[in-house]
Amino acid sequence: MTSTALFKIAEEWFTQQGWTPHAFQKDAWTAFLNGRNGLLNAPTGSGKTYALWFPIVLQYIAQNPDYKTKHKKGLKAIWITPLRALSQEIRQSAERVTRDLGTPLTVGIRTGDTSTSERQKQRRSMPDLLITTPESLQLLLATKGYPDIFRSCFAIVVDEWHELLGTKRGVQMELGLSRLKSITKDLRIWGISATIGNLEEAREVLLGPDTDHWKNSILLRAELNKKITVRSIIPETMETFPWRGHLGLRLLESVIPIIEQSKTTLIFTNTRSQCEIWFQKILERHPELAGEIAMHHGSINKETRLWVEQAIRNESLKAVVCTSSLDLGVDFAPVETVVQIGGPKGVARFLQRAGRSGHRPGQESVIYFLPTHAIELVEASALQQAVKSKAVEDRIPYLNSYDVLVQYLTTLAVSDGFYPEEIYPEIQSTFCYQGMSREEWEWLLNYIALGSQSLQSYDEYKKVTVAEDGCFKVTNRGVAMRHRFQIGTIVGDANITVRYQKGGYIGTIEEHFISKLKRGDVFTFAGRNLEFIRIKEMQVLVRNSSKKTSKVPAWMGGRLTLSAQMSKILREELYTASRPTSEQSIEIQSLAPVFARQRAESTVPKPKEFLIETFKTRDGYHHVFYPFEGRFVHEALGSLLSYRISLLLPISFSLAFNDYGFELLSDKEVDMQQVLDNDLFTTDYLLEDLQKSLNSTEMARRKFRDIAVISGLVFTGYPEKGIKMKHLQSSSQLLFDVFKDYEPDNLLYLQAYRETFEHQLEEGRLRLALQRIAGQEIVWKACKKPTPFSFPIITDRLREKLSSEKLADRIRKMTAILNK
Amino acid sequence: MTLDISIYEEIFTLHPSGALFWRGPKILLISDVHLGKVSHFRKSGAAIPRGAIHKNFELLNKVIDHFDPLEVYFMGDLFHSYLNGEWQLFEAWIGEQKHHTTLVAGNHDIISPLKFESLGVKVYPVIRKHPFFFTHHPSEEEGYFNFSGHLHPAVRLRGVGRQSLRLPCFFKNEKQMILPAFGEFTGSHVLSPGKKDQVYAIAGNEVIDVSPSFSK
């Protein structure tokens, strides 16, 4: 069939629906049918699924002209989604195409939710079109005889690629693709991404730098000019508006009229606990909304989440309080308005959330920003600017993630086994491992086969064995079974299931929260007040309670940081504080009383000024610095500076930081003049000093946790089964120390440091920040009491530590002072 | 640097390795060594560095050289799991020792007592030497003072400027003394001391009485 004829089929279908295909959809069809690969930049709800399902089905029609009567079995195409919750939606749109075009193609889903019997059925006969997740794809590669499953596959689409890029799931995807390229013929690879700063790089990562697939590829942009309006919710009286906090409940009443005036409103919160609290409080104060509002976050059970999503589509809900769980996928046409509570920390995320509203053609997207404390109004103002200039940040891809590679190689060894010489070139062709040396490769092979570099006679290490013909294979069933359970790269705190004692699944909660509860304690979860009864076989048993409670589970990992772009805009907005009112945004104007208080005690920095404040409280001596560079850079700067000061005198610090600045708190006063005289902000010896600061070891220790789990050093147990593998459990913290003492050249151990510097401390940004500070005039204010700017920082209780005092001295001091 | 304390008019020396020496009868108490843990992990496919295996024996030799005891009581969890290659190392090590060795069996000690007895190591669930009795799990018995392990006790100290420290410790009250874990690669568990508890923290090469922090 000619491509014109194929096109006609597609266009006729659109006409039947009363739609006209977008230019980007037609471009994608053409490129795909011409055998090209590519990355499609299109937002959610733009019809991106039809842009790629269509050419896949058309391709099948072209290759099988008698498609209406005959059905050629076997997998044809794979659609990867990062969230299994989206798979139903994707299946529906795929089935619409296959059915309406009269093809016999079947569509199937394979995710963690798929039943074992369904999976076995798929093993015997794969659906033609398979919707799956990166983890489930890896699990397929851990299946015996996997090349036969994929042999007939001619297309793979990676949806929401921007969400995977910059994570280890993305690396896992790169590796999976590198294998699929070899075991299929003419595989077309496509990604779909929302707008990010580095789209070109995103395409390169997906397809592999300098590969044939990359050379024969295209970047398509859906130019849908969507008007986005940002409205800040400004407190009526600034005098009583809090200087710190992250909940934003003070402005709850301003949200009610927004909910009332619009058909459906999505209220985005930054953390799951914040989501729970907001839901609870809205109902408490406005019981009339009961039944009309709902809650949606990642820890709530699947049925409830699906019900909420369906209810949004049916327009049966006025508002949904949610987290990033509703960032992705699912098109919610009825959503008219979006409210963002607290800083979204990134422009891309904010735009994406804004884009959830006003999906109908010609409608504008409206997003309200609700600040949770005074200084966040500066962020509100900055967001206005950012949306105007579309300053979207990059997603930085991982490089040389050895942990993911160890997992992948073991996966291949679990299924059919692998020959290093066959796999090595595939791995080198990926973006992540393009710089990996032959020595590092040899090291990794030794690692999985011998457990380290040299085999000793009485060693009992068992993982991968090398057959006589050089095939690396897992022969131990226990190792294979544990590995299959462990596949996946998302590492969270150990999660534990919450159930009613009488039966009924409610959701999952982090173990560390539950461990603090006693029998009879009441906590809020999934919008209910629950009484803790006991823990049984990895399940928390609860019953409903009518008691009021303030305990809300905190989920870790909720701390985001401002991007470099956003930080810059934020600084510029703050600098307008010293300009005439007429040149200020409404948000900055409304902050006048706060600026006045700040000026009375200290100053509001101008463009060429770097502000340092010192003061004393009951907690000790506070030294607060304001680079306005985002949390991660501040973490690094604080660590660096405290280390350099600790070289001048024995001293102990506790460090706190937020997106605006950082604090060094000590029981001694630091002579700030000495800090300035010694040029402690220099970029000389930057990396060496950072590495030596105790803090980087602590950060690496935390990074190592994920690495240990991903690479299989720590076994997390059998999920849901409640089987405890007590003798195989250890904390990654302990492991980290063992590596530090006995194998400091271990690549996985070193990776923890590298990730700390590249992804956490953001060394590159840190260097730029220091250079910028070098060009600024330092303004040191010795204050009498805490200033409005310092308040959110000094009240933060999550702290890092650094000390150059002798341990015994510190203990004696602590013991003595407390004994006074 | 060690620290001497007195319990029922007997002198006990606390060693920063976590060992405790009863001076009168020259008995050395060592708890929760977890030998074989590294090998157990390696056998299951987790590549823990082998160097950590030898560290336990180095530490044992060091503390035994220091006190020169007549008898060593291992207070339970001497071996982490089933028999593996580290048993041979233990066998060789025991062969070189002059002192008597006794194991007070713990929850991890699932290796047959016969295996230990073939090396001349006696195994008991509990040992009584009035007014003291020795068990793996902390226990109480009328008229006796209990020595035990099992918990891997640690303590958290707080200071001005929001400082805090977590340290392994010897944990004592009127009726019992809980020893810290001796082994490398064993971990610890933070306890919250009450006013009457005595807490001796291990700070590098020192043992420091930190009880005053909790007595107010």
At residue A283, the pLDDT reads 92
Same domain, A44 and A160: yes
Residue in chain B closest to A743 (alpha carbons) equals B49
A368: amino acid identity, one letter: Y
Q: Which of residues 6-65 of B touch A (CB under 8 A)?
A: 37-52, 55
Same domain, A209 and A267: no
Degrees, nearest 5: CA angle A227-A230-A235: 165
B213 with A815: Cβ contact below 8 A: yes
User: Is A443 a domain residue?
Assistant: no
Same domain, A270 and A300: yes
Same domain, A188 and A242: no
**Confidence at A549, pLDDT banded by 50, 70, 90:** low
A483 with B45: Cβ contact below 8 A: yes
Phi first, then psi, for residue A318 (nearest 5°) are -85, -35
Q: For the residues A403-419, what does the mean pLDDT come to?
A: 96
Q: Which of A460, A620, A814 sits opposite B84 (nearest CB)?
A: A460
At residue A720, the pLDDT reads 47
B210 with A734: Cβ contact below 8 A: no
Question: Taking CB atoms and an 8 Å cutoff, what residues of chain B touch A810?
Answer: 159, 163, 165
CB-CB contact of A544 with A533 (8 Å)? no
Question: Taking CB atoms and an 8 Å cutoff, what residues of chain A touch B186?
Answer: 734
Q: For the residues A180-190, what does the mean pLDDT come to?
A: 95
A619 with B81: Cβ contact below 8 A: no
In terms of Cα–Cα distance, which of A346, A363, A386 is closest to A264? A363
CB-CB contact of A667 with A809 (8 Å)? no
Q: Which strand (E) or helix (H) includes residue A252?
A: helix A252-261
In terms of Cα–Cα distance, which of A98, A92, A100 is closest to A109? A92
More confident residue, A385 or A60: A60
User: How many angstroms separate the CA of residue A481 from the nearest CA in chain B?
Assistant: 11
User: How many angstroms separate the CA of residue A445 from the nearest CA in chain B?
Assistant: 13
Residue A728 CA to residue A720 CA, distance in Å, equals 17
In terms of Cα–Cα distance, which of B182, B173, B174, B163 is closest to B200? B173
User: Is A475 a domain residue?
Assistant: no
B165 with A811: Cβ contact below 8 A: yes
Residue A269 CA to residue A696 CA, distance in Å, equals 30
A44: amino acid identity, one letter: T
Q: Is the pLDDT of residue A366 over 90?
A: no
Q: Is the pLDDT of residue B18 over 90?
A: yes
At residue A698, the pLDDT reads 75
The reply to whether CATH 3.60.21 applies to domain B3-152+170-185 is: yes
At residue B73, the pLDDT reads 97
Question: Taking CB atoms and an 8 Å cutoff, what residues of chain B touch A733?
Answer: 187
Question: Taking CB atoms and an 8 Å cutoff, what residues of chain A touch B158?
Answer: 814, 818
Residue A696 CA to residue A752 CA, distance in Å, equals 10
More confident residue, B23 or A520: B23
**Confidence at A516, pLDDT banded by 50, 70, 90:** low
Residues 6+ apart with CB under 8 A from A232: A368, A369, A371, A377, A380, A381, A384, A586, A587
Q: Is the pLDDT of residue B127 over 80?
A: yes
User: Is A123 a domain residue?
Assistant: yes
**Domain final residue, candidates A181, A205, A221:** A221
B81 with A727: Cβ contact below 8 A: yes
Same domain, A19 and A132: yes
User: How many angstroms separate the CA of residue B43 from the nearest CA in chain A?
Assistant: 5
Same domain, A114 and A216: yes
Residue in chain B closest to A820 (alpha carbons) equals B216
B44 with A482: Cβ contact below 8 A: yes
User: Is A535 a domain residue?
Assistant: yes
Count of domains observed in chain A: 4
Q: Which of residues 104-163 of B touch A (CB under 8 A)?
A: 108, 157-163
User: How many angstroms separate the CA of residue B188 from the nearest CA in chain A?
Assistant: 10
Same domain, A252 and A380: yes
Q: Which of A27-41, A353-367, A384-398, A460-474 has the highest mean pLDDT?
A: A27-41
Same domain, A620 and A514: no
**Confidence at A555, pLDDT banded by 50, 70, 90:** very low
Question: What is the tens place of the pLDDT at every residue in B2-17?
Answer: 999 999 999 999 999 9
User: Is A580 a domain residue?
Assistant: no
Q: Is the dihedral of CA A582, A585, A591, A595 positive or negative?
A: negative
Q: Is the pLDDT of residue A184 over 90?
A: yes
In terms of Cα–Cα distance, which of A161, A140, A163, A191 is closest to A36? A191
Question: What is the tens place of the pLDDT at every residue in A127-169?
Answer: 999 999 999 999 999 999 999 999 999 999 999 898 899 889 9
Same domain, A235 and A137: no
B161 with A807: Cβ contact below 8 A: no
User: How many angstroms separate the CA of residue A392 from the nearest CA in chain B?
Assistant: 38
B46 with A476: Cβ contact below 8 A: no
CB-CB contact of A222 with A448 (8 Å)? no
Same domain, A214 and A335: no
Residue in chain A closest to B213 (alpha carbons) equals A815
A652 with B163: Cβ contact below 8 A: yes
Question: What is the tens place of the pLDDT at every residue in A265-310?
Answer: 999 998 888 899 899 999 999 999 988 999 988 778 878 888 888 8
User: Is A170 a domain residue?
Assistant: yes
Q: Which of B161, B185, B201 sits opposite A811 (nearest CB)?
A: B201
CB-CB contact of A38 with A203 (8 Å)? yes
Q: Which of A665-674, A695-704, B19-28 has the highest mean pLDDT?
A: B19-28
Question: What is the tens place of the pLDDT at every residue in B62-100?
Answer: 999 999 999 999 999 999 888 788 899 999 999 999 999
Q: Is the pLDDT of residue A214 over 90?
A: yes
Question: Taking CB atoms and an 8 Å cutoff, what residues of chain B touch A670?
Answer: none
Q: Which of B108, B160, B216 sits opposite A620 (nearest CB)?
A: B160
**Confidence at A512, pLDDT banded by 50, 70, 90:** low
**Confidence at A716, pLDDT banded by 50, 70, 90:** low
At residue A819, the pLDDT reads 44
Q: Which of A463, A665, A814 sits opposite B158 (nearest CB)?
A: A814
Residue A526 CA to residue A535 CA, distance in Å, equals 18
B187 with A734: Cβ contact below 8 A: yes
Q: Which of A460, A741, A819 sits opposite B216 (nearest CB)?
A: A819
Question: Taking CB atoms and an 8 Å cutoff, what residues of chain B touch A812?
Answer: 208
- The residue extents of the domains of chain B are 3-152+170-185
In terms of Cα–Cα distance, which of A558, A555, A560 is closest to A512? A555
Phi first, then psi, for residue B90 (nearest 5°) are -65, -45
Question: Taking CB atoms and an 8 Å cutoff, what residues of chain B touch A462?
Answer: 42-45
Same domain, A193 and A258: no
Same domain, A670 and A777: yes
Q: Which of residues 64-93 of B touch A (CB under 8 A)?
A: 80-81, 84-85, 88
User: Is A408 a domain residue?
Assistant: no
Q: Which of B52, B84, B157 sits opposite A814 (nearest CB)?
A: B157
Question: What is the tens place of the pLDDT at every residue in A230-254?
Answer: 899 998 888 788 887 778 888 999 9
- Look up the domain containing A525 and give its range: 495-544
Q: Is the pLDDT of residue A799 over 90?
A: no
User: Is A282 a domain residue?
Assistant: yes
pLDDT, mean over chain B: 91
Q: Which of B162, B164, B189, B207 to mutate to test the interface with A (most CBs of A within 10 A)?
A: B162
Q: Which of A222-236, A727-741, A753-767, B196-210 has the highest mean pLDDT?
A: B196-210
At residue A818, the pLDDT reads 46
